Amino acid sequence: MENKTIKWGILGAGWIASQFARDLAHAQDVELTAVGSRSKEKAEAFAEKFGFARAYGSYEELVNDAEIDIIYVATPHPSHKEHVLKCLRAGKAVICEKPFTVNVKEAEEVVQFARENKIFLMEAMWTRFLPVIRKVREWIAEGRIGEVRLIKADFGFRTGVNPEGRLFNPALAGGALLDVGIYPLSFASMLLGANPKQVLSTAQLGETGVDEECSILLSYEGGQTAMLNAAIRLNSGSDAFIIGTAGSIRIPSFFNAKTATITAEDGTEETFADDRTTLGYVYEAEAAGQYLREGKLESDIISLDETLQLMRMMDGIRQQWGLRYPFE
């Protein structure tokens, strides 16, 4: 598969699918093969807008398209397990929009099937693949800020309460943690590991019963700390700070990072900027294609074991709040 053009399918035709499809058109060595939706009309409109060759009015038709190499699953959180398994059972490689599933039990079932059947599977944590985040990891590996001791990362926005909408409906696994809290959690995991010694958290549960704001404190064996916040009713911004013994790094809007500034102990600064014209999903798409060409079954940037541990951590955090979804 060394020089193979990767043929993509997208399962779902909503907002996040549109974002990904827009970027996929700019990826190298890809073919926009098909999109599947529960509505034939919606699929056809999506295919026409983004240049996909075929449109299907069911997910079954999509996963059974023999030409497709990999499918991007872009449906609501509670549907991820069902839809990823549908793809895997048809022998399709998958990248699944985060959160990977709604809890670790579902995640374990999906990962076990993929591993037993030797099919590529990855959580679509696109932030990890951005040039700025790669540069930040290089700076840290080079010892530019010494030993990392403290992470601070927020992702919060204020939106109106819609009890039936996916952000506020418990039946759709709504709330800040799964929707945006996964970003700061994954960011901390990337830098300090997925196994903190202690996890402390608090949340404001709103009128619909989901977490509208949450704060998480992670403590690690080596004494490092991560202070993380997420919200859907509070505009806390989305900046991240990495503080080391010999300097610090600031990443504005870290989840879709376009710049990062490193500050040395003596106060001198250096900024790395990504002048991309795409949204940034293109990098994870190209990485997934390369993994397939190399015959890999998972990513070395976001491993399935790390995805499982992040889901396990989020389960524990919700347990601290007493938040269970109706379907659990």
- List active site positions: 98
* Burial grade of 253 (CB within 10 A; 0-12, 13-18, 19 or more): middle
Here the tokens at position 106 are 């579902």
Give the E-state strand segments of the chain in sequence order: 6-11, 30-36, 54-56, 70-73, 93-97, 121-124, 148-158, 198-205, 211-219, 225-231, 233-237, 240-244, 247-251, 259-264, 269-273
Say which residues have a Cβ less than 8 Å from residue 43's Cβ, sequence separation at least 6: 13, 35, 36, 37, 55, 56, 57
168 and 76 Cβ atoms separated by less than 8 Å? no
- Spatial distance between the Cα atoms of 89 and 13, rounded to a whole number of angstroms: 21
Residues in the chain: 328
75 and 11 Cβ atoms separated by less than 8 Å? yes
248 and 270 Cβ atoms separated by less than 8 Å? no
In order, the DSSP letters of 148-207 are EEEEEEEEEEE----TTSTTT-GGGT-SHIIIIIHHHHHHHHHHH-S--SEEEEEEEE-T
- Spatial distance between the Cα atoms of 182 and 123, rounded to a whole number of angstroms: 11
**DSSP conformational letter for 276:** -
Of 138, 126, 161, give the one whose Cα is nearest residue 257. 126
240-244 and 211-219: which strand pairing?
A: unpaired
Say which residues have a Cβ less than 8 Å from residue 135's Cβ, sequence separation at least 6: 260, 272
